[in-house]
Structure 1
Amino acid sequence: MTTASARSDRRISPVFLGIVAVAAVSGWAVWTGTGYPYGLAVFVFVTAAWVVSLCLHEYAHARTALHSGDISVGAKGYLTLNPLAYTHALLSIVLPVLFVIMGGIGLPGGAVFIERGRIRGRWRHSLISAAGPLTNVLFALVCTAPFWLHALDGVPREFRYALAFLALLQVTAAILNFLPVPGLDGYGLIEPWLSYRIRRRVEPFAQFGLLAVFGVLWIPEVNHVFFDLVHGVLDSLGVSGLETECGRAAYRFWENWNEEYPVCAVSP
C-alpha cells in the first residue's frame, strides 16, 4: 500500500503532459510554418515551453529535497510536475507568464514548500536552492545547442528565432534566480551559511524580494546593464542579439512586429 502510494506521488501529471503536448504541437507549427499568423504559433510554443521549464525548475527543488531528507514533497504532489500542486500557483506560473508577455523577461517565481527542519547539513540546503536555477541553465544550453554546435543547417529561421527568445528567458531566469536577494534561490543558497541573527533580520523581507527585483529592473540604467549581461551570455553561446529580438518581436505578434522589424519579416 505504501509502495503504491509512493508511486502515485511520483507519477507524471496529465496536466504537465498536456502542456508538453501543446509545446510540441505548436513547435511543429512554427517549424513547418503551419497556421496563421506565424507569431501566434511562436507565442503558444514559447509560452508552453516556458511553463514546462517552470515546472522542471520546481521539480528540481523538490527532487533534491527528497534525496536530502524531506520525504513530504511526494505527498504534496511536487514530484508529479503538476503546476496546480504548487503552494503559490500565482507566483510560480501566472506571474512569470505575465512578465514574459509584458516585458519579455524570465522573472522567477516561488512555489514548493520544503520542510527544512527535515534536512541536515548546510550543503544540502544550498543544493536544494541551487537545483532550480541550474535547471534553467540546462534548459538554456538545450535551447542554444543548435547555435553553439553550429547545427543550424535545415533549422527554419522562424524556429531559430523562437528558440533564441526562449533561451533569453532561461538566461534571465537563471541570472535573476541566482541573485542573493531574500525570497530568491540565490539567497537560499547562502542563507544556511549566515548567522542566526542575520537570518532573523532578513526573514521579514523575503516576501518582497521578487517584487523588489522587478521594480529595480524598471530603472533604465539597471535594465541596460542587466540585458548587456544577458546578451553577453547568449553571444558566448552563439545566439545573436538580432535573433533574440526577432524572437521577441514574433512572440509579441500583436504589436505589428513586421513593421517594426522588417529584417525579421517572414512569410506566414
Structure 2
Amino acid sequence: MTYEPVYTRTPRNAFVPSPVFVGILAVFVVSGWMTWARFGNVRVDVFLFIVTGWLVSLCLHEYAHALAGFVSGDKTVAERGYLRLNPLKYTNPLLSIVLPVVVVVLGGIGLPGGAVWIDHRYINSKVKDSLISAVGPLTNVVLALLLSVPFLIGFGDVHLALLPTGEVGLSGAHPQFWCALAALAFLQITASVLNFIPVPGLDGGSIIAPWMSPAYQRAWSLFAPYGFILLFLALWQTRLGDWFFQAVYWIGDLLSIDRTLIQIGLELMRFWSGS
C-alpha cells in the first residue's frame, strides 16, 4: 500500500508575525536607538542590540526555509506555525535559540540556530529541495550586505585612541552604535560561511544531499546529528578555525567593515567583563 501525503488546510493567520517576533523586533529597534543615543549603560544597550538582532536574523533564516518549502509544495509548514516567525515553534528551542545566543555571547560566532521541519514527501524536485536549504544562508548573506551598507558608503567613522590605562578610547559620532553594527554584520558573515560548508546537518550539506544516491543519503543522514559538533570542535581545536576566521575577516574587509570595530563591538557586548 502506497502512502499518499494529505495536504492540510492553511490557517488564516499563517503569515501573521507572532507576538514573540514582534517583541524581539521591538527590543532590537529600541536598543538600537539606546545605543545610538548612549542611553543608560551603553554596554547593556549594545548587548541587547546585538543579541536581539541575532535573534531576528535566526527567525528570518528559518522563515526563508519555511517559505521556500511552502512555495515548493509543503503546505504543512503553515499549520506548524513556521511562517509566523515564532522561534518557539522550532523543533528544539533550547538548541535552536538558547545555544546560538550563548555561543554568540561567549564566542562571537554566528552558530547556525533554529530548525524547521520540512516534509520532503511534498517536494517533487531536487532543485527545489536544494533551494529550500540554500535560502536560509542566502538570507544571512543579504543581511550581511544590508548591515554593511553604512560602512560601504562612508558612515561609521569611528576614531580610536590608546588611553593611558591601556584601553582603546572611542570618539566620533555614535561610535558604540557603529561598533555594535559591525559586530552584528560580522555574525551574519560567520553564519553565511558556516551554513554553506557541505557538512551533514548544516544547510550546505542539505543543499547537496538531494543529488546523492539513496544509499549515500541514508549514510549522510546518520552523520547529520554529529556533523556540526565535529565541525565546531575542528574550528576551535585545529588550523581550520584560523582559516575560517581569515576568510570571514577577508569578506568583512571587502565590505569595508573594520576589524577593530568588530572586536570592540563584541567586547562591548560582554558588559559583565568591563566597566
Does the alignment reach a TM-score above 0.5?
yes
TM-score (norm 1): 0.91
Q: Deviations over 1:90-139 (max 9, x none)?
A: 22211110111111110102410000010011100000000100010111
The aligned counterpart of 1:131 is 135
1:185 matched to 2:203: yes
Whether the aligned pair in 2 keeps the contact of 1:16 and 1:82 (CA below 8 Å) is yes
Would you say 1:63 and 2:70 are equivalent positions?
no
Q: What's the counterpart of residue 273 of structure 2?
A: 255
Distance 2:89 2:218 in 1: 29
For 2:48, what is the secondary structure of its paired residue?
A: helix
Say if 2:216 is the partner of 1:211: no
Q: Which residue number corresponds to residue 22 of structure 2?
A: 17
Aligned to 1:176: 194
- Give the CA deviation at 1:168: 0.8
- In structure 2, runs of 5+ residues without a counterpart are 1-8, 158-171
Task: Measure the CA separation in 2 of the matches of 1:177 and 1:88.
Answer: 18
AA in 2 matched with 1:64: A
Query: RMSD value over aligned CA atoms?
Result: 1.5
Contact preservation (8 Å) 2:200, 2:227 = yes
Stretch moving more, 16-25 or 109-118: 109-118
Whole-angstrom distance in 2 between the partners of 1:69 and 1:119: 6
Counting helix residues as a fraction of each chain, which structure ranks higher?
1
Q: Is the 8 A contact 1:234 1:240 kept in 2?
A: yes
Assess if the C-alpha contact under 8 Å between 1:110 and 1:184 holds in 2. Answer: no
* Amino acid corresponding to residue 43 of structure 1 in structure 2: F
Q: Which amino acid aligns with 1:11?
A: V
- Give the corresponding residue for 1:148: 152
Q: Distance in 2 between matches of 1:129 and 1:5?
A: 22
Query: When the two structures are superposed, what TM-score results if normalisation uses the length of structure 2?
Result: 0.89
Q: Does 1:6 align with 2:11?
A: yes
Residue of structure 2 equivalent to 1:85: 89
Q: Which amino acid aligns with 2:46?
A: V
Q: What are the residue-to-residue correspondences of 1:198-237 with 2, within 5 Å?
A: 198-237=216-255
Q: Deviations over 1:62-115 (max 9, x none)?
A: 000000000000000000001111112122211110111111110102410000
Judge conservation of contact 1:46–1:166 (CA < 8 Å) in 2.
yes
Q: Secondary structure at the match of 1:34?
A: coil
1:210 shift after superposition = 1.8
CA distance in 2 between partners of 1:16 and 1:175 (Å): 25
Match of 1:7, as an amino acid? R
- Of 108, 115, 119, the match for 1:115: 119
Structure 1: distance between partners of 2:222 and 2:216:
11
Determine the C-alpha separation between the residues in 2 that align with 1:116 and 1:172: 28
Q: Which whole-Å CA distance do the structure 2 matches of 1:123 and 1:226 have between them?
A: 28
Which residue, out of 46, 53, 56, partners 2:50? 46
Give the aligned residue type for 1:180: P
Contiguous gaps of at least 5 residues in structure 1: 259-268
Q: What's the secondary structure of 1:6's corresponding residue?
A: coil
Tell me how far apart the structure 2 counterparts of residues 145 and 6 of structure 1 sit (CA, whole Å).
Answer: 37
